[in-house]
Chain A
Amino acid sequence: MNGRSAGDTAAIEVRGLRKSYGEHVVLDGIDFEVAAGTVFALLGPNGAGKTTTVQILSTLIPADGGEVRVAGHDVANNADDVRHAIGVTGQVSAVDGLFTGAENLRLMASLLHLGRAEASAKVQGLLEQFELVDAADKPASTYSGGMRRRLDLAMTLMGDPQIIFLDEPTTGLDPRSRRTMWQIVRELVSRGVTILLTTQYLEEADRLAGRIALLDEGKIIASGTPAELKRLVSGGSVRLQFPDEQELDRAARALGGTRDEESFALRVSSATDPRSLRSLLDQLDREHIHVDGLSTEAADLDDVFLALTSGEARRSRAAQSPEGATQANERITVQ
C-alpha cells in the first residue's frame, strides 16, 4: 500500500496470511500493512476471519502460511518479542471475575514485573483514567458490560503496548459506553499507539480508522481510507425536485427511481461526481423536463459493505479463476 509518505514505518505487516480449520478455509491469503501511530480497521460480517486474524497477529494461534511481522518481529519465530510490544483486548472478556478491578490490574503489574511503586502509581492512574475508582474494590464479575470492557482495556494498557489489538471492542455495549470507548481509542492514537481494531459496525470504522480493509469469507475484498471506500460504490443518490406531478411523472418514466408524491421529488441512484450529474441533467433537458432543484447524497460505508458482501458480488468473485480473483481484489483496492 503505497499511499503513505516514505517516512512512515509499518507497525504491522501481513503477507499472504492463510489459516484453515480442517476443510474450512478461514483466511485465504490476506495482505495488509498498518502504519505506526494509525488506526486500522478490519471490517467484516461474522465469520469473515477477523478474530482469527487478530489471534494470529497476537501470537495466540499459528498461521498455516504467509508472513506476519508485528513491531518488526516475526510472530512465528519471535513470539516473545511481539508479546512485549502488544496488548490485546479480545471479544471474550479477559478479566478475572473473582478479582476486584484493582486486583486485576495488580495481577498485570506482577506479570509485567513492574516495581512496587511503579505498579501502584499505574494502577491508580488507570483506575482514574477509566473511571473505575469507585468500583476498584468490587469483584469484576459485578461490573456492567461497559465497565468490564474498560477494565479489560486498562489491563491491556498496564504494559504500555506500542500496538494494541481491539477485537470488536464495542460489540454488546450500549451507545454511551461505545462513545467512551471511541474516545479512549482516539486518546491512545494521539499518544502514538498503533491500533488494529475489528468491527462489524461501519460507523465505528468510519469514525476511528484511517484505513479500512473489508474482509469477507477470508479475503480482503476492498481497502482504503473511508472516503476512498465510499467512492467505490458508483454511488450515492441524487434527489430531483419538480414543480408539479406532471413533470415528476415524465422524469420517473425517463429515469426510474423512487417517487416522493407529496413533495414531487424523485430519488435516483447515481454517481454524484460532476460528470454524472451533468449527464443526468442533459438527459432531462433533452426530454424538456423542468427541474426545480437538485441535491446529492453520498454513499455511506453501508452501501460499500452491502454492495461488496452481497451474494451477487461473492458469486462474481467466485466465478473468476483463482488468479483472476486476486486480480479483481487488487483492482478494487484503492491506493
Chain B
Amino acid sequence: MTAYVISDSGTMLARSMRRMRRYPSLTLFVAGMPVVLLLLFVYVFGGALGSGLGVPGGGRDAYVNYIVPGVLVFAVAGAAQGTAISVAMDMTAGIVARFRTMAIARSAVLAGHVIGAVLQTLLAIAIVLAVAVVIGFRPTTGPGEWMAAVGLLTLTAIAITWVAVALGMSANSVETASNSPMILILLPFLSSAFVPTQSMPGPLAWFAENQPFTPIIETLRGLFFGSPIGNDGLVAVAWCVAITVGAVLWSLRLYDRDPSRYLTARS
C-alpha cells in the first residue's frame, strides 16, 4: 500500500481541486475577504493610520506599503476557515468512511486536502498582491527577496492549513468548523499587521510582539522594503515549522480516531 502513497495523494489532490472548481464560491470568498479588507483599510482608515506610522511622507501611500504584508498573512489565516469547512464537510460525508475501508494510504486523504488548500491560498495571495499593486503597493527589493517572501508565505500557508485541517476534523459539525478558525482570523488584528505594536497598550503590545504572525509580517516587510529583519526571519520559520509539526500530529490522531463520531448517532 505504501508504494501508492504518492499516486493516492495525487488522486486525492485532483479530487480536492475538482471540488474547488465545483464549489467556486468558497475560493472567491477566500480571495475576496482579504481584498475587501485591504481596500477598506487603505481607503477608509489609510489616511489617518498612515499619518500615525511616523514615517517620512506618511499618509495613504505609505500605509499601502505598510499594510500589504499584514493583509497577505490575513489572507492565509482567512483561507483556514474555508479549509476547515470543506474538511468538516468531507469528514461528515460518508465518502471518507468509504476511503477508510479501502486499501489506500491513510495520509493520502489529508494530503489531498492540505496541498489543495495551500494552492488555493497561494492563488488568493496572488489576487491580493495584484490588487495591492494596482492601488499603489511598490516593493523596493529584487527577485531574490520576492522568492523568499513567497517561500515564507507558503510555509505559513502550510502551517495554517494543517491547523485548519485539524480544526475541521475536530469539529462535530460544519457550523463548529466555520466558527473555530475565527481565532486565526482575529490573530492578525492583534499583531503588527495593521498598526505598529508600539501604539498598543502594554499587555496587548507584549502579546502582539510575541505571537507568531508578527515575526512573519515583519520578515515580509523586511523582504519587500529592505528594513532590518534581525532574528524575525528565524523566529518566523521556527513558528511555521513548530505549528506544522504540531498540527500534523494532531490531524493524524484525529483521522485515526473512531470515525463513528462523525456519523450521526446510531447503533
Hey, which bits of chain A sit against chain B, CB under 8 A? 26, 44, 46-52, 55, 58-62, 80, 83-84, 86-88, 90-99, 103, 107, 110-113, 139, 155-156, 159
Q: Encode B85-113 as 1/0 by CB contact (under 8 A) with A.
A: 00000000111011111111000000000
Cα A87 to Cα B4 in complex, Å, equals 19
On whether the beta carbons of A55 and B260 are closer than 8 Å, the reply is yes
On whether the beta carbons of A46 and B97 are closer than 8 Å, the reply is no
Q: Which residues on B sit within 8 Å (CB–CB) of A155?
A: 98
On whether the beta carbons of A111 and B102 are closer than 8 Å, the reply is yes
Report the contact-size class of chain B (Cβ under 8 Å from the partner): 20 to 34
A-B contact pairs, 17 of them (CB 8 A): A44-B267, A49-B267, A55-B260, A60-B97, A60-B100, A62-B258, A83-B103, A88-B97, A92-B97, A92-B264, A94-B94, A95-B94, A99-B18, A107-B11, A111-B11, A111-B102, A113-B4
Indicate which residue in B22, B94, B267 contacts A52 across the interface (CB closer than 8 Å). B267
Cα A121 to Cα B110 in complex, Å, equals 30
Task: Pick the most buried of A51, A60, A97, A155: most chain B CB atoms within 10 A of its CB.
Answer: A60
On whether the beta carbons of B267 and A88 are closer than 8 Å, the reply is no
On whether the beta carbons of B98 and A88 are closer than 8 Å, the reply is yes
Also in contact, A88 and B101, with CB within 8 A (given A110-B11, A113-B4): yes
On whether the beta carbons of B267 and A50 are closer than 8 Å, the reply is yes
Q: Which residues on B sit within 8 Å (CB–CB) of A94?
A: 93-95, 97-98
Q: Which residues on A sit within 8 Å (CB–CB) of B22?
A: 98-99, 139
Cα A98 to Cα B10 in complex, Å, equals 18
Indicate which residue in B19, B258, B266 contacts A61 across the interface (CB closer than 8 Å). B258
Hey, which bits of chain B sit against chain A, CB under 8 A? 1, 4, 7-8, 11, 14-15, 18-19, 22-23, 93-95, 97-104, 258-260, 263-264, 266-267
Q: Which residue of B lies closest to A110 (CB)?
A: B11
On whether the beta carbons of A46 and B267 are closer than 8 Å, the reply is yes
Indicate which residue in B1, B23, B97, B103 contacts A98 across the interface (CB closer than 8 Å). B23
Q: Which residue of A lies closest to B3 (CB)?
A: A113
Task: Pick the most buried of B4, B18, B93, B267: most chain A CB atoms within 10 A of its CB.
Answer: B267
Cα A112 to Cα B100 in complex, Å, equals 13
On whether the beta carbons of B101 and A107 are closer than 8 Å, the reply is no
Cα A95 to Cα B15 in complex, Å, equals 13
Indicate which residue in A46, A80, A90 contacts B103 across the interface (CB closer than 8 Å). A80
Cα A61 to Cα B1 in complex, Å, equals 19
Q: Which residues on A sit within 8 Å (CB–CB) of B7?
A: 110, 113
Cα A43 to Cα B61 in complex, Å, equals 73
Q: Which residues on B sit within 8 Å (CB–CB) of A49?
A: 267
Q: Which residues on B sit within 8 Å (CB–CB) of A99?
A: 15, 18-19, 22
Q: Which residue of B lies closest to A156 (CB)?
A: B98
Also in contact, A92 and B94, with CB within 8 A (given A49-B267, A113-B7): yes
| The 3 nearest A-B residue pairs measured at CB | A92-B94, A94-B94, A94-B98
